[in-house]
Amino acid sequence: MDAMTNVIDETQARIDLAAALRMTARAGMHEAVANHYSVALSADGSRFLINPKWMHWSRVRASDLVLVDLNEGIDPVNVDRTAMAIHGQVHKLCPAARVVMHLHPVTTTALASINPPGMPPIDQNSARYFNRLAVDLQYGGMANSDEEGARLAGLLGNKSRLLMGNHGVMITAETVGEAWDDIYTFDRSAQIVIAAMSTGRPLLTLSDEAAEQTAIDWEGIKDFSIAHFEEMKLVLDAECPDYRD
Ligand SMILES: [Zn+2]
C-alpha cells in the first residue's frame, strides 16, 4: 500500500486475492462456484477487485479477477449480483474494510444455524472471536439487493466479523493475508465447537477474563496471520504457480 495515497498496488492485490481463493478451495470451504472475496484498491472503497461470476476458485488466476468501479453505476456483466450487493455495499459503507471475504463453509454455516448463532469461547481458536463478532438474525433470501448489502454492512458496526445466521460468515481485514487467516481460523473454531457440541456433554466454556485475554493475545500476533498466508503462497508456488498469471 502507498502510505501517501492509501492506494493498494493492483498487481500485488491480484496475486494475493487469487492465492486466497485457491487456498480456500483447497480447504474445501468455498460454495460450488459461488461466494466471493474482494479487495478495495481505493481508500474510499469505490474500486475493488473481485472473483468473476461462477468461476471455480481452484483455477482462478490473478488476471481473471474483475476490477469493479462503483462510480460507473452499472454491474459488470461478469460479476454476480449478490457479490455486487454484499461486497459493493460493504466496500462503500465500511471503507476501512479493505478486504471482504464471504463464505458458507459447512461447519461455520452449521454454527450459524444453531439458535442462537454464536461462537462460544471454549478453546484458544474460538476465544479469538470473543465479543468480537456481530451476528445477523434476519436472513430473508439470497442477498441480491443493495438494500440487503447495506443492511449487512450496518450490522458489522465496529466489528470485523459477521456471523450470518442461517447463511455463513463475512470477515473483513486490512490485508488479504489477515482476512484469509481469520476466515480459516473461524471455520476451524466452528469445527471445534460443533465437535464438542456433538458429544451432547456440557461445554467447558472459558471465563470471560480468560476469553478476553486470549482474544487480546491473538490481536498481538497479526504477523502470525501474515506468515500463515505467505507460507501457503509458497505451497501454491510449488504446486500451482499459475495463480500468479
Ligand atoms: Zn452468501
Query: How remote is the CA of residue 164 from the centroid of ligand 1, in Å?
Result: 9
Residue the block writes with cell 454455516: 109
Distance of alpha carbon 64 from alpha carbon 243, whole angstroms? 9
108 CA to centre of ligand 1 in angstroms: 12
Contacts of 160 (CB under 8 A, 6+ apart): 97, 132, 171, 172, 173, 182
Per-residue pLDDT of the chain (245 residues), as tens digits, is 676 677 889 999 999 999 999 999 999 999 999 999 999 999 999 999 999 999 999 999 999 999 999 999 888 999 999 999 999 999 999 999 999 999 999 999 999 999 999 999 999 999 999 999 999 999 988 888 999 999 999 999 999 999 999 999 999 999 999 999 999 999 999 999 999 999 999 999 999 999 999 999 999 999 999 999 999 999 999 999 999 99
CA of 22 from ligand 1 middle (Å) equals 18
Residue 214: phi and psi, rounded to 5, are: -65, -40
Measure the CA–CA gap between 197 and 191, rounded to whole angstroms.
10
pLDDT digit string, tens, across residues 91-138: 999 999 999 999 999 999 999 999 999 999 999 999 999 999 999 999
Q: How far is the C-alpha of 245 from the C-alpha of 226, rounded, in Å?
A: 22
pLDDT digits (tens, 9 = 90+) for 165-185: 999 999 999 999 999 999 999
State the cell numbers at 221. 500476533
Q: Return the domain boundaries, the chain.
A: 10-244
Element (H, E) at 108: helix 106-111
Query: Residue 145 carries which DSSP code?
Result: S
- Gap between the Cα atoms of 156 and 169, Å rounded: 11
Rounded distance from Cα 183 to ligand 1 centre (Å) = 14
Ligand 1 geometric centre to CA of 135 (Å): 14
Instruction: Enter the C-alpha cell of residue 2.
Output: 502507498
Q: Are 85 and 145 in contact (CB under 8 A)?
A: yes
Domain 10-244 has CATH 1.25.40.10: no
CA–CA distances in Å: residue 140 to residues 12, 84, 125, 144: 36, 17, 30, 11
